[in-house]
Structure 1
Amino acid sequence: MTSSCDPAYAPAGDVDAALMMVDSRLKSVHGGKADADPEGQALFDQYVASLGPGGLDDLVDGTCTLIYMLMVWLRKAHEAEGKDAIEYVVPTLVTTLSRMPKSVPPESIPMMAGLVVACATGLSPSLWRAQYGDWTPPELTPLEATAFLLADHINRIADDNDFATRLIADALSQAYED
């Protein structure tokens, strides 16, 4: 029996833009800069401003799809080692998010943890989240932080600062070809 949260029923959203956003953050952090590249941030802000309401929803759905894709990879990588991704990924994510109180309100952390658990169990994060209402503005930065932290976690596992970006870009290229 399929779930109403089956990823086959979920909108993919703008995964390219979500990946661009996360990749920019990764490069900023691992490039030794304390803050995001101001020029890159200005371009991204301009892009987001041009989206309109439907485009912003597409970006949020794309970020959820990106999180789902990253969690699928993490689940498979952990299972190959006889480990449970939820056991190893969620506590690290929660701990890191809780250390970011200026960007991540504490009340948003359970939602992000639940979102990642939903992905790890094969549920669409967008459809899982929809059960609890619309996204709220205070949840958008934690959503971005969650995508960033999962990509960074994958990069550390692979010992390659660009691995997660290449992983998703390759999957998207393959999907576009099919």
Structure 2
Amino acid sequence: MSSPSSPQSPCDPEYASAGDVSAALMVIDSRLKAIYDGSTEADGEQQKMVDQFTASLGPAGFDELLDGACTLIYMFMHWLRMACEDHDEDVIEHVVPALVGTMRMMPRTFRPEIIPTMAGMLVAAGTGLSPKLWRAQYGDWTSAEMNPLEATTVLLAEHVNRVAGDDRDFATRLIAEALSKADQDRA
């Protein structure tokens, strides 16, 4: 959602496809549950299951999953922006340094050259722009960005959960309720 006083941007979310938000949410929720359960054994099995799922999507389905992950980033940052505004805080100042700090502690997932892209997507979403369209300005997704994109979405969902009073299912419920409302509005 762009602010009423700002000019329309080609990166405005109204120009972006939402993608397969349900599939992206399923992947992110699965990752969150593994993190909260402290499950390291199942991590290999879970990764295999996610890999099989994404392989079954085909190229178009995979693009829809990527778009869905970007939509999740946008929706989480939108919720965080509203929560920050309620406390006269800036979402960029509140969220981006914390997540970038976490990314820097995870060098196997976030190579140093990927962190600016992931931070840029957070800033784009935090300022009301589509992370998908913002990223598209710089060319096609690279394979090196796939795990960091997923991990960024998981980190952001976990941040939402912490802000919501350490409610481990809040981020998932937030999106599920938004999807349900969208379905009701279409009916």
- Give the TM-score of the pair, scaled to structure 2: 0.91
In structure 1, C-alpha distance between the alignment counterparts of 2:39 and 2:158, rounded to whole Å: 16
Amino acid at match of 1:8: E
| TM-superposition CA deviations, 1:134-160 (whole Å, max 9, x none) | 111101111111100110001111121
Shift of 1:131: 0.5
Q: Residue 107 of structure 1: SS of its match in structure 2?
A: coil
> 1:136 corresponds to which residue?
142
The yes-or-no answer on 1:174 pairing with 2:181 is yes
| TM-superposition CA deviations, 1:40-92 (whole Å, max 9, x none) | 43332221111111111111110000000000000000110110010010001
Q: Residue 58 of structure 1: SS of its match in structure 2?
A: helix
Shift of 1:12: 0.6
Shift of 1:35: 5.4
Unaligned runs of 5+ in 1: none
In structure 1, C-alpha distance between the alignment counterparts of 2:42 and 2:86, rounded to whole Å: 35
The yes-or-no answer on 1:25 pairing with 2:35 is no
Unaligned runs of 5+ in 2: 1-6
> Structure 2 vs 1, CA of residues 126 and 35 (structure 1 numbering), >3 Å: closer, same or farther?
farther
Question: In the alignment, is the contact (CA less than 8 A) between 1:29 and 1:35 conserved in 2?
Answer: no
In structure 1, C-alpha distance between the alignment counterparts of 2:104 and 2:86, rounded to whole Å: 29
Amino acid at match of 2:54: V
- Kindly tell me the number of residue pairs found equivalent between the two proteins: 178
> Structure 2 vs 1, CA of residues 37 and 76 (structure 1 numbering), >3 Å: closer, same or farther?
same
In structure 2, C-alpha distance between the alignment counterparts of 1:84 and 1:36, rounded to whole Å: 38
Shift of 1:177: 1.4
Amino acid at match of 2:81: R
Shift of 1:39: 4.4
> Structure 2 vs 1, CA of residues 24 and 56 (structure 1 numbering), >3 Å: closer, same or farther?
same
Question: In the alignment, is the contact (CA less than 8 A) between 1:29 and 1:36 conserved in 2?
Answer: no
Amino acid at match of 1:163: F
In structure 1, C-alpha distance between the alignment counterparts of 2:56 and 2:13, rounded to whole Å: 28
The yes-or-no answer on 1:63 pairing with 2:69 is yes
The yes-or-no answer on 1:52 pairing with 2:58 is yes
RMSD: 1.2
> 2:154 corresponds to which residue?
148
| TM-superposition CA deviations, 1:75-111 (whole Å, max 9, x none) | 0001101100100100011110111111111100000
Q: How do residues 15-164 of structure 1 correspond to structure 2 at under 5 angstroms?
A: 15-34=21-40, 36-158=42-164, 159-164=166-171
